[in-house]
Structure formats: C-alpha cells, structure tokens
C-alpha cells in the first residue's frame, strides 16, 4: 500500500513538473504603442523604438508589444506603402502585433484587403489602448 501511494505521489510530481516546464512564459513587460501621425518622422522611428524596447527587456524575460494604428497612422499599414512593408513585416515576424483600427478604416474607406496581410484589426484603436492599459500594459504615445 505504501509503495503504491509513494509511486502515485512521485508520478503526480513528475507530471506537475513536466506541465510547468512546458507552459510558455508570459513576458514580464507589456507595451502598447500608438501611431496616429501622417507619414513622416514618426513612421521612420517606430521600428527603432519598438526594437529598442524589445532589446532592453530581453534580459528580463521579454516583452509583449502591440502597435495600434489609427487616424492618419492607419496609412502606414496600407499595402501601397511598400517602403515600410519589410520593416513592419520583420516586426510582425518577431512577435509584435500590428493592429489596424476598424473605425478609422470605415472613415477612410479602407478594406481589409487594402492592409498588409500581416496586420490584425481591432474594433477601435482607442478602445484597444484602454483595454491594454486596464490589463496593465504600458502605453507609449
């Protein structure tokens, strides 16, 4: 009886350790950026700022990053802006969420097909930022 009980406890312990070791770690830091400006300097420095914050927090276990594009900033996610496509695609491939505001899309008559295929959509850019802040994300504007 003791041997069976001990075996069951050891098996349970092994399963718990295995489950914990396979659970993906949530990054300690979470940052949401907004991009609302028309094409210009802000478009050029956005990838730099995102990569800098990612590098700074790498040793702390990483960072979740989302960039919310609304108002004139939505234009950066349009397929026609090929000058920014590769930089944005690299951000997406490195785990950054690039979110287009559907409210801005409606106002500007932008369809999902007009966006880079790696962009995601959110119902409201401002609401997305509010949700992130309420969930403890740092807000960079």
Which three-class secondary structure state does DSSP give residue 30? Answer: strand
Phi and psi of 116, rounded to 5°?
A: -55, 145
Write down the pLDDT at residue 21. 44
How open is the CA angle 136-124-54, to the nearest 5 degrees?
45
Q: pLDDT tens for residues 88-120?
A: 999 999 999 999 999 999 999 999 999 999 999
Any domain includes 72: yes
**What 3-state class would DSSP assign to 85?**
helix
- What is the domain range of residue 119? 26-140
Residue 2 inside a domain? The answer is no
CB atoms within 10 A of CB 58: 11
CB atoms within 10 A of CB 121: 14
Residue 4 lies in a domain: no
Residue 10 lies in a domain: no
Confirm whether 69 is domain-assigned: yes
In degrees rounded to 5, what are phi and psi of residue 96? -80, 135
Domain assignment present for residue 90? The answer is: yes
8 A C-beta contact, residue 69 and residue 101? yes
CATH of the domain at 120: 3.40.1260.10
The verdict on residue 130 lying in a domain is yes
CA–CA separation, 50 vs 91, rounded Å?
Answer: 8
* pLDDT tens for each residue of 18-50: 554 444 467 789 999 999 999 999 999 999 999
Residues 6+ apart with CB under 8 A from 80: 114
Number of domains in the chain: 1
Question: Is 133 domain-assigned?
Answer: yes
Q: Residue 141: pLDDT above 90?
A: no
């Amino acid at each position: 009886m003791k041997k069976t009980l001990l075996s069951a406890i050891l098996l349970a312990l092994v399963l718990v350790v295995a489950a914990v070791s396979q659970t993906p770690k949530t990054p300690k830091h979470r940052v949401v950026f907004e991009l609302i400006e028309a094409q210009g300097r802000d478009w050029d420095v956005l990838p730099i700022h995102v990569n800098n914050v990612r590098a700074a927090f790498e040793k702390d276990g990483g960072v979740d990053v989302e960039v919310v594009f609304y108002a004139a900033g939505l234009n950066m996610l349009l397929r026609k802006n090929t000058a920014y496509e590769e930089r944005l695609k690299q951000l997406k491939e490195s785990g950054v969420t690039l979110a287009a505001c559907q409210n801005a899309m409606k106002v500007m008559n932008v369809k999902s097909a007009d966006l880079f295929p790696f962009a995601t959509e959110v119902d409201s850019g401002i609401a997305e930022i509010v949700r992130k802040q309420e969930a403890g994300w740092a807000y960079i504007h």
